[in-house]
Amino acid sequence: MVTTDSAVSDIRHYAGLLAIELDPQYTDLDSVPPEPLSVAAATALASHLAKDLSTILGGIEHLGLIFPGALYDQTEILRPGLPLIEALADLYRGSLRNSSFEPRLIALGTDRAFFPVSAINPLRRPGSGPLLLLPFCLVGPDKDIALIARTMEDTLMQNGQVSPATAEAVGQAFGLTMLNISFVTVSDLCALLRVQLESHGFLPLWELLEHAWFQQLGSYSVTLESGNRFVVSGDHAHTPFYTFDDWAQFGPGKKLPSSKLGAGYSDWVRMQRQYASALEAYGLHARRVLANPRLEEALATEDNEAALEALREIPCLSGDYLVERIFHNDSELQEQAMLITHQADPELGTLAYTVITLDGDGQLVRLEHHYPLQPQGVRVIADQLTQRCTEQGMERQVLHPGRLLYSDSSRSLQPATLADLPASTERLH
């Protein structure tokens, strides 16, 4: 967490955060966070914050201090390499004259509703509450920053409450109603997140994130009880994607009895979606690759680097969805009808669409499974299948069995028949 500024070898920085817990009774937590403060408002607020920090930490007049007049959610702070923190330190460093340290208070504001430096521009995404954060950096000589870093880690979590005057100034500046407001360190924020994730059974997710945030050497791998595998290296999280057939035949579900395949694959998809979404929210690129038996052998070893190399050798899945082609009649028969089975889980929603097309005599022309890779993939698949039927003049029927339909013997998805349905409809949902 203590890093060295390259321009001046003995000047370092240490980061902290003003943590603002919003009052949901008076705040719409689905709304966007407030826009950055003006230069004048940021300067006025910075004097309050600097005074409180000096009181809590026993004096910081000998150190530089830089604040942005803006609020961020924790996914904007906790990203690989902590880029927002590094950007603040770089801005302070850029203000130094002749490479000599000067203890200054720098407040960053803007009169255009956004910062000209994109690295510190808040995303202001809807639903960023209830915790918003205002980061800051203390800057100074190596020895002084080492001392203040220890003081911050020992002090802020227990004694970081701001003064009533500062709390009022923050509330007025940003137009917020708050339950609590206090100073914490980045380590404190990480510890709170770890407790939260661990209490919900997501400790492996925390371990992946921690490895990436602090740019630890090498790769880090986790294998979940549901069979999901993630290997983190740099700001990438590599993970194999399994269609149902692959998952059941040679993947994590290969040893399950056929009666448990539906529930097992749903569990795998649930964890895959949750982990990929969280990793991407915290600044990692979830790089999905299509699993194959050779990759499965590499992942079964205890060698993280070998697993990483095997994952990197496979092209990344891109786009919103994946088409698994099971059968295609090459006799150029004219497709006259399309039957679509909505393979779904009551909790997770769409897992896949099984698509068969028939000629005028009812002979099978094509069998495919369409898997969404992104949330919007469900709609993209539905739109493209509908358009395909319209353009080719095909009749279309969509069957909704309300569960995964698969063959016990072949351990593969299968299309529904009317006997499988509690209900059917003519439209994709």
134/105 Cα distance (integer angstroms): 15
Would you state the structure tokens that stand for residue 174, as one six-digit string? Answer: 């940003």
Q: Which tens digits make up the pLDDT trace of 38-51?
A: 999 999 999 999 99
- For the stretch 354-380, what's the b/e string if a residue is b when 16 or more beta carbons lie within 10 angstroms of its beta carbon? bbbbbbeeeeebbbbbbbbbeeebbbb
Question: What one-character-per-residue DSSP string does 360-389 give?
Answer: TTS-EEEEEEEEESSTTHHHHHHHHHHHHH
Query: What is the residue type of 74?
Result: Q
pLDDT of 4 strictly over 50:
no
pLDDT at 25: 84
Cα–Cα nearest to 187, from 235, 149, 146:
149
Question: What one-character-per-residue DSSP string does 249-299 give?
Answer: HTSTTTTS-GGGHHHHHHHHHHHHHHHHHHHHHTT-EEEEEE--HHHHHHH
Would you state the structure tokens that stand for residue 166, as one six-digit string? Answer: 């500062």
pLDDT at 426: 46
Q: Which tens digits make up the pLDDT trace of 226-273?
A: 999 999 999 999 999 999 999 999 999 999 999 999 999 999 999 999
At residue 293, φ and ψ (nearest 5 deg) are -60, -35
Q: Residue 226 to residues 241, 266, 346: CA-CA distances in angstroms? A: 13, 10, 18
389/352 Cα distance (integer angstroms): 18
Q: Which tens digits make up the pLDDT trace of 350-375?
A: 999 999 999 999 999 999 999 999 99
429/425 Cα distance (integer angstroms): 9
> Helix, strand or coil for residue 205?
helix
Cα–Cα nearest to 139, from 300, 7, 325, 269:
7
pLDDT of 401 strictly over 60:
yes
- Indicate the Cα dihedral angle 114, 116, 121, 125, nearest 10°: 40
* Non-local CB neighbours of 97 within 8 Å, separated by 6+ positions: none
Q: Which tens digits make up the pLDDT trace of 277-325?
A: 999 999 999 999 999 999 999 998 888 899 999 999 999 999 999 999 9
Would you state the structure tokens that stand for residue 13, as one six-digit string? Answer: 């920085």
81/334 Cα distance (integer angstroms): 56
pLDDT at 7: 46
Q: Work out the percent of the chain whose per-residue pLDDT is above 70.
A: 96
CA contacts within 13 A on the Cβ side of 378: 11
pLDDT of 1 strictly over 60:
no
Q: Residue 357 to residues 230, 325, 352, 416: CA-CA distances in angstroms? A: 36, 12, 16, 13
Contact present, 106 and 91 (Cβ < 8 Å): yes
pLDDT at 100: 81
* Non-local CB neighbours of 389 within 8 Å, separated by 6+ positions: 338, 395, 396
pLDDT of 200 strictly over 50:
yes
Counting every residue written for the chain, the total comes to 429
Would you state the structure tokens that stand for residue 16, as one six-digit string? Answer: 């902290």
308/238 Cα distance (integer angstroms): 7
* Non-local CB neighbours of 59 within 8 Å, separated by 6+ positions: none
Q: Which tens digits make up the pLDDT trace of 410-426?
A: 999 999 998 888 854 44
259/424 Cα distance (integer angstroms): 24
Contact present, 38 and 115 (Cβ < 8 Å): no
Q: Cis ω on the peptide bond leading into residue 240 (within 30° of 0)?
A: no
